[in-house]
A and B are shown apart, each in its own frame.
Chain A
Amino acid sequence: MSAAFAGLRSAAADVAADGTDPDQLATIVAFSGQPRVQPDVLRRRDRDGDRGRDRDGDCDRDRDGDRAGTIASRLTALAGPPTATTGAVAERLLATWRADAVRVALIGDPAYPRCLAEGWPELDAPVWLAWRGQPPGHAPGVAIVGARRATSYGSGVAAWLAEAVADAGIRVVSGGATGIDAAAHRATTGRPGGTTVVLGCGHRVAYPRPHARAGGLFDQILDDGGSLVSEALPHQPPKAHQIRARNRIVAGLAAAVVVVEGGERSGSLLTAGAAAERGRAVLAVPGDIRAPGSAAPHRLLAEGAAPCCSPAQLLEALGSSVPAAEHPGGEPGSGGGSLGGAARAATDAPAAGTVRATTTLPPAVHAALVGAWPRPVRLEDLARTAQVPVGGLLAALTRARVNGEVAEAADGIRLRRAPPDTG
Chain B
Amino acid sequence: MSGAHGVLALVHAVALVGLTPHRVRIECSRATGLPGMRLVGLPDTAVREAEDRIRTAIQRSGLHWPQERIVINLAPADLPKVGTGFDLPLALGVLAATEQIPADSLVGLCACGEVGLDGSIRPVPGTLPTAVGARDLGTGRLLVAEAAAGEAALVEGLRVVGVRDLIDVVELLRGDRRPRATLPAPTEVPTSGLDLRDVRGQPVARRSVEIAAAGGHHLLLVGPPGCGKTMLARRLHALLPPLAMDQALEVAAIHSVAGERAPDAPLSLAPPLREPHHSISAAGLIGGGSGIARPGELALAHRGVLLLDELLETPRWILDALRQPLERGEITITRARSRVHYPSRVLFVAATNPCPCGHLGDPRRACTCRPDRIERYRARLSGPLLDRIDLHIEVQPVDHEQLVGAADGESTALVAARVLAAREGAAARWGAGILARDLDDQQLRAGCSPRAMTTLVRAIDGLALSARAFDRSLRVARTIADLDATEVIAPDHVEEALAYRLRVPVGT
Residues of A within 8 A of B (CB): 148-152, 178-179, 182, 208-211, 291-292, 378-380, 383-384, 390-392, 394-399, 401-404, 408-411
Contact = CB atoms under 8 A, between A and B. Distances in A.
A401 B463 contact: yes
Interface in B169-202: 201-202
A394 B495 contact: yes
Contact of B375 (A150, A210, A378, A383): A210
Contacts of A292: 366
Most buried by A among B201, B498, B506: B506
Contacts of A411: 361, 363, 506
B458 interface: yes
Interface in B311-338: none
Interface string B472-508: 0000000010000000000111011011100111111
Given A149-B367, A150-B506, A410-B354, A384 B203 contact: yes
B308 to A, nearest CB: 21
Interface in B444-485: 458-459, 462-463, 480
Most buried by B among A152, A210, A291, A394: A394
Interface of B: 201-204, 206-207, 354, 360-361, 363, 366-367, 371-372, 375, 394, 396, 398, 458-459, 462-463, 480, 491-493, 495-496, 498-500, 503-508
B371 A391 contact: no
B204 A379 contact: yes
A180 B415 CA distance: 42
Given A209-B375, A210-B375, A402 B207 contact: no
Contacts of A209: 372, 375
B444 to A, nearest CB: 19
Contacts of B506: 149-152, 179, 409-411
Nearest to A215: B464
A380 B371 contact: no
Contact of B507 (A149, A395, A403, A408): A149
Most buried by A among B207, B375, B495: B495
A404 to B, nearest CB: 8
B507 A396 contact: no
B483 to A, nearest CB: 8
A395 B206 CA distance: 16
B204 A380 contact: yes
Given A383-B203, A390-B207, A408-B503, A178 B508 contact: yes
12 contacts: A150-B506, A179-B506, A208-B372, A210-B375, A390-B206, A390-B207, A391-B492, A394-B207, A404-B462, A409-B506, A410-B360, A411-B361
A178 B371 contact: yes
A182 B203 CA distance: 31
Contacts of B463: 401-402
Given A210-B375, A410-B354, 15 more contacts: A178-B371, A179-B507, A208-B372, A291-B366, A379-B396, A380-B201, A390-B207, A391-B496, A394-B500, A395-B492, A396-B495, A402-B459, A409-B503, A410-B360, A410-B506
A410 B371 contact: no
A410 B499 contact: no
Contacts of A378: 363, 396
B448 to A, nearest CB: 15
A398 B207 contact: no
A399 B375 CA distance: 27
Contact of B495 (A149, A151, A208, A395): A395
A402 B206 CA distance: 24
A409 B499 contact: no
B495 A398 contact: yes
B437 to A, nearest CB: 19
